[in-house]
Amino acid sequence: MSNIKDLARSTGLSTATVSRYLNGHPYVSKEAQYAIELAIRELGYSPNAAARSLRSGKTGRIAIVVLDASHPFYSALVAGAAGAAVEYGYDLLVQQTCTKHWSPDRVLQPVVTRAIDALIVATELEPWGEYAAELERFRVVTCDQALSQAGLHGLYIDHYQSTLDGLEHLYERGARVIACLHDPDHDRCSSSRIRVSAYEQFASRYSEMRIVQLEAEDDTVETGASLLQRIGSEFPEVDGVFSGSDDLAAGLLLAAREAGLDVPGRLRILGFDDQPLARVLGLSTIRQPVRKMGARAVHEVHRLIQRNASCGRGRPNGRRHAPDKIRVPYRLMIRSTT
Amino acid sequence: MSNIKDLARSTGLSTATVSRYLNGHPYVSKEAQYAIELAIRELGYSPNAAARSLRSGKTGRIAIVVLDASHPFYSALVAGAAGAAVEYGYDLLVQQTCTKHWSPDRVLQPVVTRAIDALIVATELEPWGEYAAELERFRVVTCDQALSQAGLHGLYIDHYQSTLDGLEHLYERGARVIACLHDPDHDRCSSSRIRVSAYEQFASRYSEMRIVQLEAEDDTVETGASLLQRIGSEFPEVDGVFSGSDDLAAGLLLAAREAGLDVPGRLRILGFDDQPLARVLGLSTIRQPVRKMGARAVHEVHRLIQRNASCGRGRPNGRRHAPDKIRVPYRLMIRSTT
DNA sequence: ACTTGCTCTGTAATTGATTTCATAGAGTAC
DNA sequence: GTACTCTATGAAATCAATTACAGAGCAAGT
C-alpha cells in the first residue's frame, strides 16, 4: 500500500500539501489538486486509519455491549445502532457478554486503549458498582434503566411505570393472580430488578391481588411453552401472565391454545416488546421502539463526542455536563389475549 | 492518559525497556520489571491501540457484513462470530447493508484503510462482480454459497443440495404443486438464485411436479401469514410449501391452522433454519447451524491472518493459497407439518 | 518604494509504540 | 589474558499521518 509520502514523491509536492488536499483545506492550487488526484488514482492510495487516529486522537469507532446479539431485543438494538452509525460515519463494534471467554475488562479494553471513541452499554458488567464508576471516565451511554442510575448518560424505557401499567391492565381485565415471568438472566439484566419493585408496589396497592414470580431459564418460545405446564401444576390459581418478553408469552399462548385453554377468559397474557410474532398471534403486549433506541443511542454518543472534542482532549477540564436521562416512550398494545 | 514515555521517565528506564516488558520479551531485569509494574499502577497506564497498530500493521479487529443485524439468521451469525471473536482476541465490527446511507465503498472502507485485519462477508455487495474482485486483495471469508464462487474463501451450507432434499421430501409426502417462497431481498441475497436453479433441476426431474415461485416482501411471520390468502386465491392447487425461512413458514402455518386448513393433509409446509419457533410449532424444517457458522468464519479469518502474518506484510509475495471452500452440514428435521 | 495581506508551499515536530543496532558488564572456556 | 556468550539496556529510526511555523511570490494600497 502506498502512503502519503509516495504521493508527495510522485507529485513533487510535500506531504503537507498532500495532507491539506486530502483534508479539504483551502490554499491548495488547482495544479496541485489535479496532480494529487492523479497520483491517488495511479498509486491506489488510501489513508491509514491507525496513523490518522494516532495523530488526531479520534478513531471514528464506537462499540455497543449487549448480552446476546442473537436475542430479538438486543439484535434490534444493534440493528438500530448499526444503521445510525453509518449515518454518523462511525464503525460499530459489537460486544457480547453471554460468551464463554467474556470479562468486563475485556469489554472495556477498546475504550481504555482508545480503540474506540465511545461506548454504548446495554447490559450489566459485574460487579456493576465498580465498573459503573470506571465508566464515568469515558464517553458512555447506557441503554438500560438500572444501569443509568449511576453518573452515566441513560436512554431507556421506564420499566417501573410500564410494568405497573401492564399489571394494571391485567387487573382491569379481571386477573387476580398474576404470574410474572422473569428474564432469563434475571441477575444480569438489572432492569428486571426494577420490575420486581414494581410488582411489589402493585401488590401493595391492591390487597386482593397476588403476584407469583417465575424464573424462565431462557428467553425463547420453547421455554415459554414449557411454562404452561409448570404454572398449571404449581400455581393452578393463576389467571393472568405478565411476561418480560414476547417470546415467552408467545410460547405460553401457543401452548395454552394447544391445550384448549380459554385465553383470555381463563388466562390473560401480556407480552413485552411487540415483535412481529406478537402481531400474528394477536398477543397483547407493550411496544417499545427498540431499533429507534439503538439509533438514538448512537445519536447521543455522537453528541458526547462532539462535545468534548471542542472542550479539548483528555479529561474534561471544565465542569462535566450533567448526565442526560432520556425516557423512550412505550405503548400498551391491546389485542386478543387480555 | 499516560504513555510509554511517562513510564520511562517515571522509572528512569528507556522506552525500549518498558516496551520490552510490556510485550513479555526476555532480558528485562527483575528490578526493572518491578519498577515498571509500579509505575503502571501509579500512572494508570494503558497502551494506545492506534500507535500499536500503526507500528505493527495489525489491528486485532475484524468485521462482519450482514444484510440486517436484527434478522434471525444474521443475528445468529453475528452472535456466533462475536463469541468466537472474543475467544481469538479480536474486536468485531458489524456492518449492515439494509441501511439507508449504506454503500459498498463504505463497507469496504475499514479494510481499505487498514482499520481491520480481515472481513467476513455474508451478504452481497452490488455489483458483486466488481467488488468480489476488489475483495481478493484482502483477507476475506464469505458466508454464502453464491458469494464464494469467486476466488474468495467460502463457508456455507449447500443451498442447491439442501433445496433439492427439501423438495424431494415434500414430493415423497405427496405434494405435487409446491410454492417456493423467495427471500425478501431476492436480488441481494444471492443464495436464493442458487435455490431457483435447484427448483428448475427438481422440476425437470419429475414431470408431474409444478413449482410456483412467490416473492415475499420481507422475512417475518406476519408476511408469512399474509401469504396463505395469496396462495389460496392465486394458486389454489398448491399442496406443498417450501420456505426459505422459518419465519415465513411459521406465519403461513399459523394462518393455516387458524383457517382450519389440514396441515399436512391438504398442505405440507417445510421451513429453513430450525429456530425455536419451529420447534414449538412442530414445523418441519432444514436445520443449519448458523451460530457455529459465525464462529467458524472467525476461525477461518484467524487462520488467514496467521498465515500471511508469517508470509511478510502487504501483498502475498509467494503464491496465494487456493481459496478454501467449506461446506457446513445441514439436517432435515421432520416434524408434524410434512 | 514600502507595507500589508493573501495564496501557496515546504520543513520539521508530533502522535505512542516497536525494533534495530550498538554497547557494556558479567560470566565462562581455553 | 583473551575470546566468547549471555544478559540487560539505551539511542534513534520507523510506522503514516497532521499541523505549527516559516517563508516565498504576488497584488493592492499608501
Pairing of strands B240-243, B268-273: parallel
Q: Between residues 300 and 319 of chain B, which touch chain A (CB distance below 8 Å)?
A: 314
For B142, phi and psi rounded to 5 degrees?
A: -100, 150
A119 in contact with B at a CB cutoff of 8 Å? no
- State residue B316's pLDDT score: 44
Query: What is the spatial distance, in angstroms and rounded to an integer, between the CA atom of B50 and the C1' atom of D13?
Result: 19
Residues B173 and B242 grouped into a single domain = yes
Residues B211 and B308 grouped into a single domain = no
pLDDT band at A185 (very low <50, low <70, confident <90, very high): low
A96 in contact with B at a CB cutoff of 8 Å? yes
B86 in contact with A at a CB cutoff of 8 Å? yes
pLDDT of B184 above 70? no
**In this structure, is the CB of residue B32 within 7 Å of any atom belonging to strand D?**
yes
Residues A204 and A324 grouped into a single domain = no
**Is A132 among the domain residues?**
yes
Query: What integer best gives the mean pLDDT of chain A?
Result: 90
Q: Between residues 143 and 202 of chain B, which touch chain A (CB distance below 8 Å)?
A: none
**Is A274 among the domain residues?**
yes
* Number of residues that this document lists for chain B: 338
- The residue that minimises its CA distance to C1' of C7 is A27
**Is A28 among the domain residues?**
yes
**In this structure, is the CB of residue B12 within 7 Å of any atom belonging to strand D?**
yes
Residues B65 and B113 grouped into a single domain = yes
**In this structure, is the CB of residue A52 within 7 Å of any atom belonging to strand D?**
yes
Query: What is the spatial distance, in angstroms and rounded to an integer, between the CA atom of A254 and the C1' atom of C9?
Result: 75
A134 in contact with B at a CB cutoff of 8 Å? no
- CA dist B276 and A249 (Å) reads 14
pLDDT band at A22 (very low <50, low <70, confident <90, very high): very high
- A89/chain B closest Cα distance in angstroms: 9
Q: By residue range, what is the domain housing residue A107?
A: 61-156+291-329
How many C-beta atoms lie closer than 10 Å to residue A122's C-beta?
26
Look at A67-76, A236-245, A249-258, B313-322 and tell me which has the smallest mean pLDDT.
Answer: B313-322
Residues B192 and B220 grouped into a single domain = yes
Contacts of A95 in chain B (CB under 8 A): 82, 86, 91-92
Residues A83 and A22 grouped into a single domain = no
Contacts of A251 in chain B (CB under 8 A): 280
- State residue A148's pLDDT score: 83
For B59, the closest of A50, A99, A291 (CB atoms) is A50
pLDDT band at A230 (very low <50, low <70, confident <90, very high): very high
pLDDT of B112 above 80? yes
In SS3 terms, A119-156 reads as: EEECCCCCCHHHHHHHHCCCCEEECCCCHHHCCCEEEE
Q: Return the residue in A68, A91, A105 with the most chain B beta carbons within 10 A, the one to mutate for interface testing.
A: A91
pLDDT band at A151 (very low <50, low <70, confident <90, very high): confident
Residues B271 and B325 grouped into a single domain = no
**Is A54 among the domain residues?**
no
**Is B56 among the domain residues?**
no
Give me the percent of chain A exceeding a pLDDT of 70.
94
Query: What is the spatial distance, in angstroms and rounded to an integer, between the CA atom of B18 and the C1' atom of C29?
Result: 34
For residues B217 and B50, the model is more confident at B50
- State residue B312's pLDDT score: 38
Give me the percent of chain B exceeding a pLDDT of 90.
75
Residues A261 and A169 grouped into a single domain = yes
For Cα atoms B181, B184, B189, give the angle at the middle one, nearest 5 degrees: 100
* pLDDT tens-digit map of B20-31: 999 988 888 988
Q: Could you give the number of structural domains in chain A?
A: 3
- A285/chain B closest Cα distance in angstroms: 16
| Mean pLDDT, residues A30-36 | 91
**Is B15 among the domain residues?**
yes
Residues A172 and A282 grouped into a single domain = yes
B50 in contact with A at a CB cutoff of 8 Å? yes
Residues A254 and A281 grouped into a single domain = yes
Residue type, B141: V
Q: Which residue has the cell 414430493?
A: B171
* CATH assignment of the domain containing B113: 3.40.50.2300
Contacts of A40 in chain B (CB under 8 A): none
Q: How far is residue A85 from each of residues A325, B129, B283, measured CA to CA in Å? A: 21, 27, 37
Residues B152 and B179 grouped into a single domain = no
Residues B117 and B196 grouped into a single domain = no
- State residue A324's pLDDT score: 86
**Is A174 among the domain residues?**
yes
- State residue B315's pLDDT score: 41
Q: Do B79 and A70 touch (CB under 8 A)?
A: yes
B254 in contact with A at a CB cutoff of 8 Å? yes
- B329/chain A closest Cα distance in angstroms: 21
A22 in contact with B at a CB cutoff of 8 Å? no
- CA dist A105 and A94 (Å) reads 15
| Residue B236: cis peptide before it, omega within 30 degrees of 0 | no
- State residue B311's pLDDT score: 46
**Is B187 among the domain residues?**
yes
Nearest CA in chain A to B67: A79
- State residue A309's pLDDT score: 65
- State residue B218's pLDDT score: 85
Q: Do A70 and B72 touch (CB under 8 A)?
A: yes
Q: Do A251 and B221 touch (CB under 8 A)?
A: no
pLDDT band at A171 (very low <50, low <70, confident <90, very high): very high
User: How many CA within 13 A on the CB side of residue B286?
Assistant: 23
* CATH assignment of the domain containing A21: 1.10.260.40
Q: Do B280 and A254 touch (CB under 8 A)?
A: yes
Q: Do B251 and A99 touch (CB under 8 A)?
A: no
- State residue A189's pLDDT score: 59
Q: Do A94 and B93 touch (CB under 8 A)?
A: yes
Contacts of B93 in chain A (CB under 8 A): 61, 91-94
- State residue B126's pLDDT score: 83
DSSP at B264? T
H/E run at residue B325: strand B325-327
- State residue B308's pLDDT score: 72
pLDDT of A313 above 80? no
- CA dist A155 and B175 (Å) reads 51
Nearest CA in chain B to A74: B70
- State residue A263's pLDDT score: 84
pLDDT band at B175 (very low <50, low <70, confident <90, very high): very high
